Amino acid sequence: MTSSNDFLELRAGQYRAQISPFGGGLWSLTFAGKPLVVTPPVPHKGLSQVSPVPFAAGCLLAPWPNRVDGGNFTFQGETYQLEINEPDRRNAIHGFVRERPWELDPETSDNPATVRLALEMAPQPGWPWRLKYVMNWSVDATQGLRGELRVSNLSDTPCPFGFGWHPYLSAGGASLDECTLRISVGNNLVLDSTRNLPTGLERPADTVLGQARPVALHGLWLDHAFRAQPEPGGRVRAALCRADGSGTELSAGPWCRWLQIYTADPAHQEAFPGVDDGRALAVEPMTCPPNALSRNQDVLVLEPGKPETFTFGLRSLAAAR
């Protein structure tokens, strides 16, 4: 591992990854010099001076992913009020850890392919629980990037919890409009168009994505939540590919029950910075859907002394022969 003011760099074979100690997330990933994720330009002040990371690119989302309606939720008979950090929509969004500096474990500093970061979060407004996070990032010459998050509840009482990851996939730098998305998902959880919160309705994924698989992304805009459909072994996969089949594949463990798929797009006043046409695709594995805390849907309960582990990763896909 090598380090700079902003990044910890991992290397194995033709893989290169940059990990940000600010937020603990993935900043960049390349294979043979070609990008597997889209990243915004580094701000001139450095990442540690900018909060939050633009477009939540590569961020870890905890202790909840996505949105909480009005920041308000009830757990085990008690009601809590989170700070509103999406004021235009009056929501609390994406948890706390993406805006905190993480500590480097010095035992991993000499390994060129592995790094471990840790964060112990004190109680926050509307969140009275103390949580410890340990994030292991590694790259392998054949398997690509692997992430493993371990979270422990250091409080005396049970804690609600949700986790998500927010990478923007890249098929070697190809325009999104030239790519397809290979993904297996179930119903779409319908979100309202104003605050991006669930309406309570579900509909088949084909009503959003069409019937063709893989999904052609030319001109397509998405900001939708889907039930994940895992493979027989329990893993959830999604792949962004060029016409020749080359690209990048995301995978997540059985913990992933939902996928939020989002297109940054200048036509929707949300151009991804540093990208020629402003379009970029986030595929976000999540334990729970939007507004899970308020709706008490698929919320995990962390018991004191019983840590939970979440694994996920990215790898390069070669062109079809």
Cis peptide before 63 (omega within 30 of 0): yes
pLDDT digits (tens, 9 = 90+) for 72-118: 999 999 999 999 999 999 999 999 999 999 999 888 778 899 999 99
Count of the separate structural domains present in the chain: 1
pLDDT given at position 50: 56
Fill in the DSSP letter of residue 206. H
User: For the chain, what is the largest distance between any 2 Cα atoms, rounded to a whole number of angstroms?
Assistant: 58
Question: Any idea what the CATH number is for the domain that residue 268 is in?
Answer: 2.70.98.10
pLDDT digits (tens, 9 = 90+) for 1-33: 555 567 899 999 999 999 999 999 999 999 999
Residue 269 neighbours by CB under 8 Å, 6+ apart? none
User: Taking the mean position of all CA atoms in its chain, how far away is CA 172?
Assistant: 19
Burial class (CB in 10 A: 0-12, 13-18, 19+), 316: buried
Q: Which H or E element spans position 295?
A: helix 292-295
Q: What's the predicted TM-score (pTM) here? A: 0.96
Average of pLDDT values for 186-208?
Answer: 96
Q: Which domain holds residue 186?
A: 2-317
pLDDT digits (tens, 9 = 90+) for 106-149: 887 788 999 999 999 999 999 999 999 999 999 999 999 999 99
Report the phi/psi class of residue 106: left, alpha or beta, with left for phi > 0 and alpha for psi in -120 to 50: alpha
Phi, psi (deg, nearest 5) at residue 81: -125, 110
191 DSSP β-pair partners: 198
d(CA 137, CA 312): 10
